[in-house]
């Protein structure tokens, strides 16, 4: 395998396997005064920005150059992950503009398009592209892994397992085991999957950082779901040491800290990452939690500002017809607006699209607070059928079954 292919594989494997927390476009933000810092822009002397600028200039001169376009799009996607800045995903799409709307673009464009589509939760379109990619290039590991990711999110565990099996024949052991563990974690095989992945990671010294972060994040989530807080904490911190700005990882760790009633640490963690809607939501949740134990005017004002900003962002997304924010919006309505009925409606709509543990949890939580145990029946049946193993979900299920 050539060096450039290895680099592309490592980057795209991590991107595909860690579907980022979705980020809707923000409503226009007007600073309170002229001295307020809105954003720190990348330095023009920064090596990465300089390389991107040179690639952009080359692509502007040769907009139909497929190799240039896909290279630039791939770099933007990687940078968007590393910096928690969703704008780079838009830049990646712009780089692919000559081919974006084609019914049958080249396979390399199709794979990147599928990666961007699944990031925005356009799963049907992403799968359609991926089916065509694997048909044309059945030995392309990135395509099989992205396909497994989308299938897992949608609850197609048979399909995801089959896709992971193809990954096993094309990628290294750590990638293959992490793919399978991601499915096993939500299909009643969490303990075995966690043990195998932990052992595989231990003997995978020198694994690409992107893949190590993916594996560590999954391991941390698995530990958190079974209630092993100390183990989860250690794994989250190891992953953050490798990727301190990874958007998905920041959101997962913030959720863990919120469950542990540690809002101050969430506020410190997300101080510079509120451009992403899902991370702004978690900061607002941390502020609300902190206010239950300490009342300060500054904190109350910050929470009010965050709630207003989130409301504007969600409203803008709904007016655009975007529906990939429903899990976050359901949490917003339930925990910040105390509107359980609205939260339940959003959680039910979201359930039609994706079926990850976080989707299960917000659905059950909303049903519980709406005093509507009957509405939770499809999710409770899903849990029984697939063997979900999560202490928080199990607690909610018990309460719903008890008629609380």
In this model, does residue 125 exceed pLDDT 60? Answer: yes
Q: Which of 48-52, 169-173, 186-190, 270-274 is predicted with the least confidence, judged by mean pLDDT?
A: 48-52
Q: Which of 43-52, 182-191, 209-218, 290-299 is predicted with the least confidence, judged by mean pLDDT?
A: 43-52
Three-state secondary structure call for residue 150 = helix
DSSP 292-327: TT---HHHHHHHHHHHHHHHHHHHHHHHHT--TTHH
Rounded CA separation 258/361 (Å): 14
Full-model pTM: 0.86
Does residue 257 contact residue 283 with C-beta atoms inside 8 Å? no
Name 297's Cβ contacts closer than 8 Å, sequence gap at least 6.
none
DSSP summary character for residue 375: G
Rounded CA separation 399/372 (Å): 11
Does residue 354 contact residue 327 with C-beta atoms inside 8 Å? yes
Percent of the chain past pLDDT 90, that is, above it, reads: 74
| Sign of the alpha-carbon dihedral angle for 216, 363, 371, 304 | positive
Q: Summarize the confidence of residues 349-378 as an average pLDDT.
A: 96
In this model, does residue 32 exceed pLDDT 60? Answer: no
130-146 pLDDT per residue, tens: 999 999 999 999 999 99
pLDDT attached to residue 324: 75
State the chain's mean pLDDT as an integer. 88
Helices and strands per DSSP (H, E), number in the chain? 22, 0
Rounded CA separation 96/65 (Å): 10
In this model, does residue 17 exceed pLDDT 90? Answer: no
pLDDT attached to residue 403: 64
pLDDT attached to residue 398: 95
pLDDT attached to residue 75: 93
Does residue 266 contact residue 282 with C-beta atoms inside 8 Å? yes
Measured CA distances, 128 to 26, 118, 122, 132, 152 (Å)? 29, 11, 10, 7, 16
In this model, does residue 34 exceed pLDDT 80? Answer: no
Rounded CA separation 45/393 (Å): 48
* Residue 51 binned pLDDT confidence (cut-offs 50, 70, 90): confident
Measured CA distances, 193 to 182, 276, 297, 318 (Å)? 8, 31, 47, 38
| Sign of the alpha-carbon dihedral angle for 104, 160, 352, 344 | negative
End-to-end C-alpha distance for the chain, whole angstroms = 58
Torsion of CA 42, 242, 276, 37, to 10 degrees: -40
314-345 pLDDT per residue, tens: 999 888 877 778 999 999 999 999 999 999 99
pLDDT attached to residue 86: 78
In this model, does residue 5 exceed pLDDT 50? Answer: no
Does residue 109 contact residue 70 with C-beta atoms inside 8 Å? yes
Q: Summarize the confidence of residues 104-114 as an average pLDDT.
A: 95
Rounded CA separation 253/250 (Å): 5
pLDDT attached to residue 45: 55
The stretches of 120-261 forming alpha helices (DSSP H) are 123-136, 141-154, 157-168, 173-184, 190-202, 209-225, 229-242, 247-259
388 versus 260: the higher-pLDDT residue is 260
In this model, does residue 9 exceed pLDDT 70? Answer: no
């Amino acid at each position: 395998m050539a060096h450039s292919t290895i680099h592309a594989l490592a980057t795209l494997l991590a991107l595909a396997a860690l579907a980022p927390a979705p980020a809707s476009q923000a409503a226009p933000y007007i600073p309170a005064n002229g001295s307020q810092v809105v954003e720190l822009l990348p330095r023009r002397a920064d090596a990465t920005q300089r390389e991107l600028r040179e690639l952009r200039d080359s692509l502007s001169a040769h907009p139909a150059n497929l190799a240039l376009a896909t290279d630039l799009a791939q770099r933007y996607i990687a940078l968007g992950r590393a910096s928690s800045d969703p704008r780079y995903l838009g830049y990646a799409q712009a780089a692919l503009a000559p081919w974006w709307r084609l019914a049958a673009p080249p396979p390399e464009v199709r794979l990147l398009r599928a990666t961007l589509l699944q990031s925005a939760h356009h799963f049907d379109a992403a799968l359609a592209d991926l089916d065509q990619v694997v048909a044309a290039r059945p030995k392309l590991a990135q395509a099989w892994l992205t396909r497994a990711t989308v299938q897992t999110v949608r609850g197609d565990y048979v399909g995801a397992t089959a896709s992971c099996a193809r990954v096993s024949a094309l990628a290294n052991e750590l990638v293959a085991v992490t793919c399978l563990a991601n499915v096993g974690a939500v299909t009643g095989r969490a303990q075995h999957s966690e043990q195998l992945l932990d052992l595989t990671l231990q003997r995978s010294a020198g694994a690409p950082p992107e893949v190590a972060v993916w594996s560590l994040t999954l391991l941390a989530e698995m530990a958190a779901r079974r209630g092993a807080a100390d183990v989860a904490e250690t794994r989250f911190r190891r992953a953050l040491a490798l990727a301190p700005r990874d958007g998905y990882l920041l959101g997962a760790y913030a959720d863990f800290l919120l469950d542990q009633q540690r809002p101050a640490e969430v506020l410190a963690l997300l101080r510079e990452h509120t451009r992403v809607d899902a991370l702004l939501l978690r900061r607002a949740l941390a502020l609300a939690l902190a206010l239950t134990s300490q009342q300060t005017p500054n904190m109350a004002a910050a929470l009010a500002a965050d709630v207003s900003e989130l409301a504007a962002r969600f409203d803008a997304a709904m007016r655009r017809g975007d529906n990939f924010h429903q899990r976050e919006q359901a949490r917003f309505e339930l925990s910040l607006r105390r509107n359980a009925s609205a939260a339940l409606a959003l959680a039910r709509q979201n359930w039609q699209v994706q079926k990850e543990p976080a989707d299960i949890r917000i659905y059950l939580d909303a049903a519980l607070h709406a005093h509507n145990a009957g509405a939770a029946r499809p999710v409770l049946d899903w849990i029984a059928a697939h063997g979900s193993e999560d202490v928080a979900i199990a607690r909610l299920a018990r309460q719903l079954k008890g008629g609380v």
